[in-house]
Each structure stands twice: as C-alpha cells, then as structure tokens.
C-alpha cells in the first residue's frame, strides 16, 4: 500500500507521466482514498501550470547581477563565521 510520504516523493513523476503502470495504479488507488493527497496533487499541478505560464519571463540583468552579488556576500560571510549549512 502506498503511503502519503511515498506519494509525495513520486508526485512530480506521476504528474509528468514518468511512472510505470503499477506505480501509476498505486497512486490512483491512494488518491481515491486520501483527500489530503488529492489536495496535494491538485496544488502541485496548479503550481506547475502557474510556473509554466511564467517561464518565458526573464530577470532584469542588473537585478540578477545584484542578486548574485548578495548571495556571494552571504555565502562568504557564512564561511568566515562557520555558520554555513554544513556546520551543524
């Protein structure tokens, strides 16, 4: 039996049609019984469609450069004080 956490892991593959038949059937069976996962799949599907609708938009080059510089400064600061994601 497919569990909710298992479905969350393969949800994108399910929506993209990249699952083998047996897994697709397991997902569909689970969705018939679990309203929370039906809601999760619907929200994920809507999010994907929303992103596709905006995929042709580009960042302003100056904004992208400024964002890159701020990220680099933040990462440099974290590595200096030892508070990076690997420290913990």
Q: Check residue 13 and give its pLDDT.
A: 95
Reading the chain (88 residues) residue by residue, the pLDDT tens digits are: 899 999 999 999 999 999 999 999 999 999 999 999 999 999 999 998 888 877 677 778 898 888 888 988 888 887 776 654 444 4
Q: Check residue 42 and give its pLDDT.
A: 96
Q: 20 vs 7, 34, 44, 73, CA distance in Å?
A: 14, 21, 20, 45
Tokens of residue 88, six digits? 């913990």
Q: Check residue 33 and give its pLDDT.
A: 97
Quick one: angle between helices 4-16 and 35-53, nearest 10?
A: 40
């Amino acid at each position: 039996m497919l569990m909710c956490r298992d479905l969350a892991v393969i949800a994108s593959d399910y929506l993209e049609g990249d699952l083998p038949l047996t897994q697709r059937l397991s997902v569909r069976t689970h969705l018939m019984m679990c309203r929370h996962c039906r809601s999760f799949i619907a929200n994920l599907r809507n999010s994907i469609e929303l992103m596709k609708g905006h995929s042709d938009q580009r960042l302003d080059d100056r904004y992208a450069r400024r964002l890159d510089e701020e990220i680099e400064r933040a990462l440099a600061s974290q590595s200096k004080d030892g508070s990076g994601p690997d420290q913990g």
